Amino acid sequence: SQQGEEDPQALSIQEGENATMNCSYKTSINNLQWYRQNSGRGLVHLILIRSNEREKHSGRLRVTLDTSKKSSSLLITASRAADTASYFCATVSYNTDKLIFGTGTRLQVFP
């Protein structure tokens, strides 16, 4: 079953604009991770945020986590055409050894 649900399902923006994607989940988690997937093949890890963290930055990426609302957001600032991809959140619960992925957001950045 899907733990995370991302919204929007699809997002189209112009280069230079910011892109925000949201993820909601159902159970308590140890950490939440964001991945990017190009062309429906292998995924690339972007960032991991632990349950005791509220915000994390990596380059143009900013991730927030609100455990009271069971939600996370991924912000990509000053987007580029190369950011065009699908973005997935994935959660890890305390009593499991696996990532549970959301349904993903398809981001299209137009030059």
**The 3-state secondary structure of 19-67, one letter per residue:** EEEEEECCCCCCEEEEEEECCCCCEEEEEEEECCCCEEEECCEEEEEEC
Residues 45-84, mask of contacts with another protein (x by CB under 8 A): x--x------------------------------------
Stretch that binds another protein, among 32-40, 54-62, 68-76, 77-85 (CB under 8 A): 32-40
Work out whether 2 is an interface residue with another protein (CB under 8 A): yes
Rounded CA separation 35/70 (Å): 18
One residue of 13, 61, 75, 99 binding another protein per CB under 8 A: 99
Cis before 111 (ω within 30):
no
Report the interface residues with another protein, using CB under 8 A: 2, 30-31, 33, 35, 40-45, 48, 88, 90, 92, 96-104
